[in-house]
Chains A and B, each alone.
Chain A
Amino acid sequence: KAGVTQTPRYLIKTRGQQVTLSCSPISGHRSVSWYQQTPGQGLQFLFEYFSETQRNKGNFPGRFSGRQFSNSRSEMNVSTLELGDSALYLCASSLHRRTDTYEQYFGPGTRLTVT
């Protein structure tokens, strides 16, 4: 079974631009979560989608948004990029939202550099 895939793997953008990152979960997984990883703040939860609905959101400004499609693929968008948005963006998928046995599988991430 293929793992979580994220595209693109690397991206360089300029301040003020906007960017869209894509995540394809493991086949059959319905929950997709996004995380931002930086050296200073570590791994921080952005949001979770399940059945095309945002179920939970972390403490990030409204410039960060996302969506999930009917095939469970997800995209996240960052508008008006700032230098501080440079990070590794990780996507994780899980079969269920939260049961006694759920676990999240992480993708390789998209490395975003804002100049």
Chain B
Amino acid sequence: AQSVSQHNHHVILSEAASLELGCNYSYGGTVNLFWYVQYPGQHLQLLLKYFSGDPLVKGIKGFEAEFIKSKFSFNLRKPSVQWSDTAEYFCAVNAEQAGTALIFGKGTTLSVSS
């Protein structure tokens, strides 16, 4: 069965620190990859997505992610976090035969102190 692992459950950073959140998935076929963010009290919203092409994708609010096929990884990065980045981050995978169904990781809570 497909699964998604997010390595860090809770990350605490100071403003201006760099961020990298790990995500690995288990599925041997073609996948689409996503990072979603859930700010306190708000809906899940899409940060960025990878379908094909350049494995380095850029999303909203200065976030980027790199797809490394050989490592089944799709890590999220941001060079300098802000207090407003405090949120829960979810990595998700969609397999080729699964329609629009997303398999989510358990999420990483990011706390940024000012």
Contact = CB atoms under 8 A, between A and B. Distances in A.
B23 to A, nearest CB: 13
Interface string B14-28: 000000000000000
- A43, A94, A109: most-surrounded residue (chain B CB, <10 A): A43
Contacts, number: 61
Interface residues of B, number: 23
B40 to A, nearest CB: 13
Contact of B43 (A3, A56, A94): A3
B43 A107 contact: yes
Binding site secondary structure of chain A: strand
B45 interface: yes
Interface of B: 32, 34, 36, 43-46, 49, 51-52, 90, 92, 94, 98-107
